[in-house]
Structure 1
Amino acid sequence: MCLKLVVIVVTLLACSVTFTLSARILFMLPAPSLSHHIFYRQIIKEILLRGHEVVSITPDPINDPNLRNLTEIDIHKETYEVIDGQKWLEEAQYQPSTEVNRMRLYLPLLRETADQVLSAPKVKELIQSQNEHFDLVIVEMIMMSAHFFGFRERFNCPAIGLASMETSLNGMDAIGNSPHPNYYGSFFTEYSGGNLSFWERLLLLWHHIDFRLYYHFQYLPISNEMLVKHFNITTKTAWDLEKSVDLILTNTNPIFHVPKPKVPNLIDIGGLHQREKKPLPKELKQFLDSSKQGVIYFSLGSNVKSGNLPSEKRAAILEAFKKLPYNILWKWEKETLTDKPVNVLTQSWLPQQDVLDHPNLKAFVTQGGIQSLEEAIRSTVPMICIPFGGDQNFNARRISDLGIGRRLLFEDITTDTLKDAISEVAGNPNFKTNITQLARVMYDQPTKPLNRAIWWIEYVIRHGGARHLRCPAADLPWYKYLLLDIIGFILGIMIFSLVVIVCLIKVISGLLISKKPKDKRE
């Protein structure tokens, strides 16, 4: 009996040790945008709490000495000095081209950024190290990431794609989850959902074709060059490595991002992003508490700086603020603001989640980044969305379609249009009702998004990958995926049959004519 008890205890201890063994995880997160990394930090911190060891290649390090088992390789210089996210988004207002065409314009910069990141001394040392190993590689997978899957090949371990928004079409194609162009494009296009017009559906179809032509014939050749140059990988292409991803975690929620069929290894973790709540600073709390008539919060996020807006737009915004019956809290990055109205308080930085949670908030004027949207929905604050680029046009359209706010294009901003939009959203109770209902259904989930993300990460580690979840469609050539070979075969049979029938008719007709009795007079 005692021996059996000892065996049971030892077995339980062994199982406990097995499940608490830490893994070594490499994060490759190159996007030069702080808002993306605020999202990623939630996952990294939770992974560290689970006892794992993390090496993070990032342009926005956490720099927290209290986080044990975290090594950060800073690539701020290699990314921000090449691609200025602020300039990119601001220039988008004056380029009436498609997002994919803007990507084409930035292709040389994307190539330079990848080259500099992979050439950074510490990154290069990591790649060339003979003693380094990882149990998992997690690659930021928004769009331009194929060459970074060279880390997966270099360390011969599973790989997960991670996106702080929806992944783009190449990511969905890589796991066999290509969305139908009849109702869904990607975050590059605002047209998604039901009740699209014929022309909107036509534009969606063209977006699907145009994006893939660009990605496969312009971008992937550059990724192949990066693989050869930095990883000495010559036997596999960048597309081969991107398709080897085991699963993809995306900051999406089907309630907001349009429901669509999904393969098992495309995981929604929308709603994960949540800043730690803290008491409001004294001056800010006093301003919000005393604003009994209500407050409008104006912030264009971390990339677009309000202080860099054109003077005519800034003047129109200030004039609109003067005419509103509300107090205005404006995230203004410069020290002074000329002609500031008495109802406006400016600060260079604001604890956004805590501000949105205040009961006197009436509306939020935002650029429409997904993290800001999540915070506004969680706090049930209706929005006026002024999109600049990236996923913001898609988000602005969804805000309007869902009835939780208004979309206002940057070029359409005047004193009257901004005043009218704010007045409508802040004064019409339907917007508050709609966003309250949306928050209720969005966050009614069987598991918390962060726990779901960590569970899937550890699932891949436990099983050495997740190839068993892979959809067969991911490995089909495009002509097979579209059934073009079968359609061609059927059309061939039909055409052949038609030709045979026509020939038979001609032969039979000829025979009948030849056997026709001759006229007796002949």
Structure 2
Amino acid sequence: MKTILIFAIILVFRNNVHSAKILGVFHATARSHYILGSSLMRALAEKGHDVTVISPFGEKNPPKNGSYRDIVLTGLVEEHDEKIKEINPFSKNKMGILKIVSMMGNMMIKMTESALNHTNVEKLIHSGEKFDVVVVEEFLNPAHKAFATHFGAHLVSLSTMGANSWSNSFVGNPTPLSYVPNLLLGYTNNMTFLQRVLNTMFYVFHEGLNYFYIYPAHHKLIKKYFPNGPDLHDVLYNASIVLLNSHTSTNQPVPYVPKMIDIGGFHVAKPKKLPNELKTFLDNAKNGVIYFSLGSNIKSSLMPVEVRQMLLTTFAKLKEEVLWKWEEDDLPGKPPNVHIKKWVPQQDILAHPNVKLFITHAGLLSTIETIYHGMPVLAIPIGGDQNLNAKQIVNKGFGRAISFQDLTEEALTENINELLTNPSYRQNAKTRSQIFHDRPVTPMETAVYWIEYVIRNGGAPHLRVGALDLPWYRYFLLDVIAFITILSIIVLYIFCQTIKVLVRCCFRKKYQKVKTS
């Protein structure tokens, strides 16, 4: 018995990591991005690690176990909210995709610098502290990867989406343009010829924009804000692992190198008890509830008045109650069956048995939470990756989609009725939910395990693929193609010259025979 106990203790210590110092850098002012970052860092703190988090948001209820420190980027959320009022997301679709990408690049350069030149971050940079691991959100902010080099830490990238053009090249992950579309284009993996042409052209444009504009700008930021700042290209490809907020139940299957780990849905928690008012409302909804939300970043109060009125007219005809996440105190023209809340615990609402349908913008977090709870969906994508998510929802048969531009009373009514009366959508949602839950361990346990794996294995250099050490012309076999092409031309030339010589010889002999005769 004593031997068994000793062996068990050895196993426990062997599989656990000492209390590591871990820094999380989550610069985005979108709360949905922060939810992902803070969920991971809280789990690491509760595991006993010493956690520090840089973000525009502070934790009101930090974890009770472990050590958790906030470095808040004060003022950034307020600046973001003011800019959102100036750039109405409902008119963003009128812009061309190239202009959107260029605008995003400029915006993220400014956002990256806003974090680096913040007083609270400058104090940390010059504090002389050391960290074992730096977790950086991969979202158009390559200069932030220098935090790992500066603090002598291993780098872990957290992609709030699946594998994409913002993360693939940094770990040498293959991106076959024949079936891996850029997420901003909203294509599925079964692209038409024209879509493949546009996907290829967009890839070339995006890479050119990165190498000739985005990367040089971030290189300057590193040199400006980090003492003895390294070259950007020395930190771009330095991630030990990339944690991906994706899973085969929610995303299209694509190739991964060993460094890329699926942890999609890691932020989803078990349902908690609802606030009394909400619980009473949902419990007493005899005909069920339709939940309507455009997420934490898009304010539905900014939508055009005529669209808002059309929604209210449509909802008024329904027998179901409608719960609308509305950011203002009042909603003019609200019918009796429509109830508004500035904030709601979305995951807990989707878990309630009286909720029959979720009308959503098809953001990735909302899509994941929908699949987790097996809920039918009506997607109204506004922009970004939402178009792709909406197509995935339709293709997998657990929902329908209407583009915001095509939103009419007739289309909305028809789609809602179809989703409520056709049981196949709910059944497909349950099937998709089963795939989501069919894992050996929870996605959060997977995330924590791999971060500790990096610590245990000295940065896990054995996961690095050879593609990262190849110049681009060797990666794409351009030298081999050039060699084969030149060799083929030489062989063809020699063949042609040989044929020409043989033909001349034949004609010469024939001519001599004719002449002698």
Are 1:396 and 2:390 an aligned pair? yes
Q: Return the alpha-carbon distance in structure 1 between the equivalents of residues 16 and 272 of structure 2.
A: 34
Of 226-235 and 40-49, more deviation after overlay is shown by: 226-235
Per the TM alignment, residue 374 of structure 1 is displaced from its structure 2 partner at its CA by 1.8
1:216 equivalent in structure 2: 211
Q: How does 1:144-155 map to 2 (within 5 A)?
A: 144-155=140-151
1:127 corresponds to which of 125, 128, 147 = 125
1:109 equivalent in structure 2: 107
Of 301-310 and 12-21, more deviation after overlay is shown by: 12-21
Per the TM alignment, residue 307 of structure 1 is displaced from its structure 2 partner at its CA by 1.4
Are 1:303 and 2:297 an aligned pair? yes
What is the RMSD of the two structures over their aligned residues, measured on CA atoms? 2.6
Q: How does 1:331-370 map to 2 (within 5 A)?
A: 331-370=325-364
2:482 equivalent in structure 1: 488
2:418 equivalent in structure 1: 424
1:29 equivalent in structure 2: 26
Per the TM alignment, residue 403 of structure 1 is displaced from its structure 2 partner at its CA by 0.9
2:39 equivalent in structure 1: 42
8 Å contact from structure 1 (residues 83, 109) kept in 2: no
2:169 corresponds to which of 164, 173, 189 = 173
1:225 equivalent in structure 2: 220
Are 1:62 and 2:56 an aligned pair? no
Alignment deviations for residues 404-427 of structure 1 (CA, whole Å, 9 cap, x no partner) = 111111111121121222111122
Q: Return the alpha-carbon distance in structure 2 between the equivalents of residues 14 and 257 of structure 1.
A: 36
8 Å contact from structure 1 (residues 377, 439) kept in 2: yes
Are 1:193 and 2:189 an aligned pair? yes
Are 1:292 and 2:283 an aligned pair? no
**Structure 2: any 5+ residue segments left out of the alignment?**
none
Q: Return the alpha-carbon distance in structure 2 between the equivalents of residues 362 and 18 of structure 1.
A: 44
Q: TM-score, normalised by structure 1?
A: 0.91
Q: Return the alpha-carbon distance in structure 1 between the equivalents of residues 176 and 288 of structure 2.
A: 43
Per the TM alignment, residue 86 of structure 1 is displaced from its structure 2 partner at its CA by 4.3
Q: Secondary structure at the match of 1:170?
A: coil
1:163 equivalent in structure 2: 159
8 Å contact from structure 2 (residues 17, 455) kept in 1: no
Per the TM alignment, residue 40 of structure 1 is displaced from its structure 2 partner at its CA by 1.9
Q: Return the alpha-carbon distance in structure 2 between the equivalents of residues 80 and 99 of structure 1.
A: 27
1:282 equivalent in structure 2: 276
8 Å contact from structure 2 (residues 89, 298) kept in 1: no
8 Å contact from structure 1 (residues 139, 162) kept in 2: yes
1:497 equivalent in structure 2: 491
8 Å contact from structure 2 (residues 93, 382) kept in 1: no
1:136 equivalent in structure 2: 133
**Structure 1: any 5+ residue segments left out of the alignment?**
none
| Shift in CA distance, 380/520, structure 1 to aligned 2, threshold 3 Å | closer
Q: How does 1:66-105 map to 2 (within 5 A)?
A: 67=64, 68-78=66-76, 81=79, 86=84, 90-91=88-89, 93-105=91-103
Letter in 2 for 1:116: S
Are 1:325 and 2:319 an aligned pair? yes
8 Å contact from structure 2 (residues 250, 371) kept in 1: no
Per the TM alignment, residue 319 of structure 1 is displaced from its structure 2 partner at its CA by 0.8
| Shift in CA distance, 358/249, structure 1 to aligned 2, threshold 3 Å | same
2:250 corresponds to which of 251, 256, 261 = 256
Per the TM alignment, residue 120 of structure 1 is displaced from its structure 2 partner at its CA by 1.0
Per the TM alignment, residue 18 of structure 1 is displaced from its structure 2 partner at its CA by 9.7
Q: Return the alpha-carbon distance in structure 2 between the equivalents of residues 162 and 80 of structure 1.
A: 25
Per the TM alignment, residue 245 of structure 1 is displaced from its structure 2 partner at its CA by 0.8
1:51 corresponds to which of 48, 52, 73 = 48
| Shift in CA distance, 90/367, structure 1 to aligned 2, threshold 3 Å | farther
How many residues are matched?
513
Q: Identity over aligned residues, as a percent? A: 34
Per the TM alignment, residue 286 of structure 1 is displaced from its structure 2 partner at its CA by 2.5
Per the TM alignment, residue 385 of structure 1 is displaced from its structure 2 partner at its CA by 0.9
8 Å contact from structure 2 (residues 360, 366) kept in 1: yes
2:428 corresponds to which of 434, 439, 444 = 434
Q: TM-score, normalised by structure 2?
A: 0.92
Alignment deviations for residues 241-292 of structure 1 (CA, whole Å, 9 cap, x no partner) = 1111111001100232111221111000012122453322333223222222
| Shift in CA distance, 337/234, structure 1 to aligned 2, threshold 3 Å | closer
Per the TM alignment, residue 101 of structure 1 is displaced from its structure 2 partner at its CA by 3.0
Of 24-33 and 202-211, more deviation after overlay is shown by: 202-211
Q: Secondary structure at the match of 1:174?
A: helix
Q: Return the alpha-carbon distance in structure 2 between the equivalents of residues 521 and 163 of structure 1.
A: 85
Q: Return the alpha-carbon distance in structure 1 between the equivalents of residues 7 and 428 of structure 2.
A: 56
Per the TM alignment, residue 16 of structure 1 is displaced from its structure 2 partner at its CA by 3.7
